[in-house]
Amino acid sequence: MSFSSDEVNFLVYRYLQESGFLHSAYVFGIESHISQSNINGALVPPAALLTILQKGLLYTEVEWSVGEDGEVARPIEGLSLIDAVMPEVKPPKPIVKTEPGKLGAVDSSAPAGANNNNSNAKPEIKIEPGTGAAGAGAGNKTGAGSTTGTSTPTDQNASEVDSSGNTANSTGATSYTGNNGAGGNQATPAGANNTSTPASGADAAATAAAQKKAQNSNEAGSSSGGSAGNANATSTDDAASSTSTNGNSSTSSSVEQPSSGVTPTGGAVSTSNPDSAAAGGASATAGAKAPSGAVTIRVGAQGNNVQAGSTTAQNSAPSGTISSSTGGGGGGGNAGAPAALVPMEIDESIEIPESKARVLRGHESEVFICAWNPSRDLLASGSGDSTARIWDMSDANTNSNQLVLRHCIQKGGAEVPSNKDVTSLDWNCDGSLLATGSYDGYARIWKTDGRLASTLGQHKGPIFALKWNKCGNYILSAGVDKTTIIWDASTGQCTQQFAFHSAPALDVDWQTNQAFASCSTDQRIHVCRLGVNEPIKTFKGHTNEVNAIKWCPQGQLLASCSDDMTLKIWSMNRDRCCHDLQAHSKEIYTIKWSPTGPGTNNPNTNLILASASFDSTVRLWDVERGSCIHTLTKHTEPVYSVAFSPDGKHLASGSFDKCVHIWSTQTGQLVHSYKGTGGIFEVCWNSKGTKVGASASDGSVFVLDLRKF
């Protein structure tokens, strides 16, 4: 008899799901690297853990009741599970001598249930040929025919696209079930624990969030998850640098105020969101895994920033634990306990009716990321079921047709599903191509008809973020292997690889068509340029993992957010941050700039910045003044995504409380609200500003039609 830690973890994961502990299941799935096991969840029956526990309990009753001679000497009935594991409860048994060479009986003084001499045997670590410790998707490039049909509800149509481009409707086709069965995981491991027996078949690929939303310490090494007093936080800054606490700006003289890195007990782990590069490796020793929850899931798996949780203690509170916050309604992280959140009461004029929501079913696991095509009403989504999908949401199409982009790898001379999360995706400028990033280590370029155009293979491990430049000739990616890569989109070849980070790279963002910034769990931000072999600028100041970075529309200011609970604004003209905004009371998961100000389509509207945090709030900032304009407090769980409408007048936010809220950026008032069926990982607006798409932890994708509101 043998079993692996992967098998035990999977049964616990399923038990949590089936018992309704969805948030706990999500975090546990990330930290235990469920996504890296090859267990087919579809084959595991419901209540499997309870069934095996019941059988074990019955066996224990029999073992304790039956004497060595086979007679029932001490009848035991109604033995509880706790009694069965407590040695002092077990009735003593006489010592039984055995013949030489045979296993001896357990002495009456030995603890009940003590194992034989194999009890200390360690599980075997199985590494499949062709895979590295970092979990690179093994094998050769995926062939062009990796898009196939999958099952969808009868009211939706899925198209199968083969390598020749032939399309066939597959209304009732049976589709592949991901390794996570009911609700896969978004793991961004910080040191994937791939320990398993050969029977479990778990590969040693490291990866999570995730959501979202930390990755394998085997590949990335131990990342520095700093505490509040980290020496790196204190340094000389320009006199104009300011620190804002609770939205009040104050000028610092010569020493920058240390960023608040104190994580409250049970503080949320950053889940890499799909957009921010789903989890990057958090500080963890080799063998520890935690994506999404502790790990940043981007969940994301936001792209999905789901990263593995840091194992470095912060004020005695592990940074790798996710805390579902019911408080923190806008209170400052440095000014005492935040005010309790008021339960949201939505009047009928605000609540979006079901008639205005289209729910899209088809994914078989969490959906970490979604993005609208910039020129057509096509919505792309990426999931833990190792597929991306393109949904036709045009008004003329009432059936919500979907194209299934199956992510496969070469194994044993055949194409097989990678079984890895798709946690990042991005459309090119004209909407003709879709790029996806996966935990299998490959980036892929797809056409709008579902055909695979290119497979980009250079990363050694999960990809956390992926972005097209504005011209559409280059793709930028970041991975757990600590590197960022610029790809030639026309050839699919690596143009230049940048290896400047000392830990997994979590997010990237283009400044120009050839220059970009990257952030990492190493607390650093590097600005690099194509053709230059060293960073042209490095920003230091965060005291914990940097989850996301975004350049303002003009490309002059760079915003960054971190697990140290601060939001910082940087300029290429300065070595230190321009603003150190400290108001959130928990980790900040993602940030977005408004599409306003000089050089945008809305030049007469002031530029603002939105930040989303695990403290359940969203904050809007006046960056010029370094002050908080509005604190949006209606969510009751961590907020994983925010998105501005094209005109900048509204902000959509998505939280693990299953709600999507639409806010007025001018007044900070809640305008519309919709509650879905799963925790929200990503929200996005279409180019016309008439529809909001959202992706959720229960595998659903939905579109809200905001016209006529």
Phi, psi of 29 (to 5 degrees): -60, -35
231-250 pLDDT, tens per residue? 333 344 444 445 555 444 44
Q: Tell me what pLDDT residue 577 has.
A: 95
Structural domain ending residue among the three candidates 42, 64, 86: 64
Q: Pick the range with the lowest mean pLDDT from 313-322, 475-484, 512-521, 541-550.
A: 313-322
Q: Is 77 inside any structural domain?
A: no
Residue 131's pLDDT band (boundaries 50, 70, 90)? very low
Question: DSSP characters for 15-79?
Answer: HHHHTT-HHHHHHHHHHTTGGGS---GGGSPTTHHHHHHHHHHHHHHHHHHB-TTSSB-S---S-
Measured CA to CA, the distance from residue 158 to residue 390 in angstroms comes to 10
Question: Across residues 323-341, what is the average pLDDT?
Answer: 37
Average pLDDT, rounded, for the chain: 72
Residue 212's pLDDT band (boundaries 50, 70, 90)? very low
Q: Pick the range with the lowest mean pLDDT from 145-159, 380-394, 474-488.
A: 145-159
**Tokens encoding 3:** 């079993």
Q: Tell me what pLDDT residue 244 has.
A: 53
Residue 73's pLDDT band (boundaries 50, 70, 90)? low
Higher-scoring residue by pLDDT: 576, 116: 576
Q: Is 586 inside any structural domain?
A: yes
Phi, psi of 492 (to 5 degrees): 75, 10
Q: Tell me what pLDDT residue 331 has.
A: 37
Q: Tell me what pLDDT residue 548 has.
A: 98
Q: What is the percent of the chain where pLDDT is above 70?
A: 61
Residue 639's pLDDT band (boundaries 50, 70, 90)? very high
Question: Across residues 215-221, what is the average pLDDT?
Answer: 35
Q: What is the percent of the chain where pLDDT is above 90?
A: 48
Q: Is 604 inside any structural domain?
A: yes
Q: Tell me what pLDDT residue 426 has.
A: 98
Q: Is 535 inside any structural domain?
A: yes
Report CA torsion sign: 5, 464, 451, 128: negative
Give residues with Cβ within 8 angstroms of 272, minimum separation 6: 188, 208, 209, 210, 211, 212, 213, 214, 278, 279, 280, 291, 292, 295, 296, 297, 298, 299, 300, 301, 302, 303, 304, 305, 306, 307, 423, 464, 506, 547
Please say whether the beta carbons of 298 and 276 come within 8 A: yes
Helix (H, G, I), strand (E, B) or coil at 217: helix
Please say whether the beta carbons of 572 and 516 come within 8 A: no
Total domains in the chain come to 2
Give the pairing of strands 680-685 and 414-417: unpaired
Higher-scoring residue by pLDDT: 73, 625: 625
Measured CA to CA, the distance from residue 16 to residue 11 in angstroms comes to 9
Question: Across residues 105-114, what is the average pLDDT?
Answer: 38
Q: Is 530 inside any structural domain?
A: yes
Please say whether the beta carbons of 77 and 61 come within 8 A: yes
Calculate ∠ Cα 551-556-559, nearest 5°.
40
Q: Tell me what pLDDT residue 90 has.
A: 54
Calculate ∠ Cα 343-349-350, nearest 5°.
45
Q: Tell me what pLDDT residue 663 has.
A: 98
Question: Across residues 682-687, what is the average pLDDT?
Answer: 97
Q: Tell me what pLDDT residue 123 has.
A: 34
Q: How many residues are recorded in the chain?
A: 709
Is the link from the previous residue into 220 a cis peptide, with omega within 30 of 0? no
Measured CA to CA, the distance from residue 220 to residue 211 in angstroms comes to 19
Q: Tell me what pLDDT residue 396 has.
A: 80
Structural domain ending residue among the three candidates 64, 81, 108: 64
Please say whether the beta carbons of 383 and 297 come within 8 A: no
User: What CATH code is carried by the domain that includes residue 27?
Assistant: 1.20.960.30
A 10 A CB-CB count for 30 gives: 48
Structural domain ending residue among the three candidates 20, 41, 64: 64
48-59 pLDDT, tens per residue? 888 888 888 777
- For residue 14, the enclosing domain spans 5-64
Q: Is 561 inside any structural domain?
A: yes
Helix (H, G, I), strand (E, B) or coil at 675: strand
Phi, psi of 487 (to 5 degrees): -110, 145
Q: Pick the range with the lowest mean pLDDT from 246-250, 387-391, 538-542.
A: 246-250
Measured CA to CA, the distance from residue 322 to residue 540 in angstroms comes to 26
Question: Across residues 175-198, what is the average pLDDT?
Answer: 36
Residue 153's pLDDT band (boundaries 50, 70, 90)? very low
Question: Is the model's pLDDT at 655 over the cut of 60?
Answer: yes
Question: Across residues 166-174, what is the average pLDDT?
Answer: 39
Q: Tell me what pLDDT residue 584 has.
A: 97
Which amino acid is located at 259 in the chain?
S
**pTM exceeds 0.75, yes or no:** no
Question: Is the model's pLDDT at 416 over the cut of 70?
Answer: yes
Question: Is the model's pLDDT at 115 over the cut of 80?
Answer: no
Q: Tell me what pLDDT residue 177 has.
A: 33
User: What CATH code is carried by the domain that includes residue 510?
Assistant: 2.130.10.10
Q: Is 547 inside any structural domain?
A: yes
Q: Tell me what pLDDT residue 626 has.
A: 93
Please say whether the beta carbons of 368 and 681 come within 8 A: yes
Question: Is the model's pLDDT at 277 over the cut of 60?
Answer: no
Please say whether the beta carbons of 265 and 239 come within 8 A: no
Q: Is 463 inside any structural domain?
A: yes
Question: Across residues 144-157, what is the average pLDDT?
Answer: 38
Question: Is the model's pLDDT at 264 over the cut of 80?
Answer: no
Question: Is the model's pLDDT at 370 over the cut of 50?
Answer: yes
Which amino acid is located at 52 in the chain?
I
Question: Is the model's pLDDT at 14 over the cut of 50?
Answer: yes
Residue 33's pLDDT band (boundaries 50, 70, 90)? confident
Question: Across residues 415-423, what is the average pLDDT?
Answer: 91
Residue 289's pLDDT band (boundaries 50, 70, 90)? very low
Report CA torsion sign: 77, 80, 82, 84: positive
List strands edge to edge, sheet with 433-438: 422-427, 433-438, 442-447, 452-457
Higher-scoring residue by pLDDT: 476, 227: 476
Higher-scoring residue by pLDDT: 104, 25: 25
Question: Across residues 430-435, what is the average pLDDT?
Answer: 97
Question: Is the model's pLDDT at 393 over the cut of 50?
Answer: yes
Q: Tell me what pLDDT residue 81 has.
A: 79
Give the pairing of strands 210-211 and 297-298: parallel
Question: Is the model's pLDDT at 267 over the cut of 50?
Answer: no
Higher-scoring residue by pLDDT: 523, 221: 523
